[in-house]
Structure 1
Amino acid sequence: MTIYIDPSPANFQAFKDLPRDEPIHMLNLLRYRDLADYPEGHEHHGNGWTGRQAYEEYGKTSGPIFRRVGGEIVWRGAFQTMVTGPEPDDKVWHDGFVAQYPNAGAFFEMIKDPDYQIAVVNRSAALTDSRLMRFAPGEAGGAFG
């Protein structure tokens, strides 16, 4: 089973090649570690936090930067069951959310921020697997088509 925490160089390049001046939605799927895995020497190493607690710390420490660049959460949910996809034992996502950014440039501004680069250690310590997918916002409401 392949685990994804950070983007591959090819995937990140594809993201960077898309327009940077239009609104984006980022779908986040999260699977937490039972026990957070901080690097030795980090202030939270050995504190006994669960992955969920480490991700909550990531939210606290990255949240001000996320809001400063114009980001907001437009949907959040807790996983219940897989309807279409791999068997539930194979891919159980604990949480999911959609983050909206005014444009991709705001996302780049966030991830390049020195305080964000410190905060993101909490995300890496928290997750055993994740997905991050960019979407162009569409019209909500009505029927499927």
Structure 2
Amino acid sequence: MTDIYIDPSRANFEAFKDLPRDEPIHMLNLLQYRDKADYPSGHDHAEKGWSGRRAYEEYGKTSGPIFRRVGGSILWRGIYQTVVTGPDAMQWHDGFIASYPSAAAFFEMVKDADYQAAVVNRTAALSDSRLVRFSPSEGGEGF
């Protein structure tokens, strides 16, 4: 069975926190949606019958103002087509790269009370995900 990842493990989050906080970061997000969103019992959206994709749209709508306030932006967004190199089971519905002016900005976002209320939509939406931090570097014509 393949491991499922929705939220960071304590060890991974500690490693993230140990990296420099005062430099720009890019976060690769790979998303696999549930067929039906899985909200906690009693949540306002629990009985709406939303798809995982619809719940993730709600996450984007409710977390977006905080993301933008801390200086975040989307550099690239794509919709999965096929795996070229990698296991056949590695199929993502969507992917994007979010840019933050600093890791401190990312921390500011995730500690925000409104963001914490919004993240329930992300958790309900996803059956699996990856969130990978990169240090930005220059693009160009070569690899």
% identity of equivalent residues? 74
Residue 94 in structure 1 maps to residue 93 in structure 2? yes
Unaligned runs of 5+ in 2: none
What is the TM-score when the length of structure 1 is the normalising length? 0.97
Deviations 1:33-78 (A, max 9, x none): 0000000010000211000000000000000000000000000000
> One-letter code of the match for 1:52?
R
The Cα RMSD (Å) is 0.5
Match of 2:40 in 1: 39
* Paired residue secondary structure (2:78): strand
Runs of 4+ in structure 1 over 4 Å off: none
1:77-122, Cα deviation, whole Å (9 max, x unpaired): 00000001101xx121000000000000000000000000000000
Q: Residue in 1 aligned with 2:77?
A: 76
Gaps of 5+ in 1: none
Alpha-carbon distance, 1:142 to partner? 1.5
Distance 2:49 2:80 in 1: 24
Any idea what SS the aligned residue of 2:65 has? helix
How far 1:28 moved relative to its partner? 0.1
Opposite residue 10 of structure 1, the aligned amino acid is A
Q: 2:65 corresponds to which residue?
A: 64
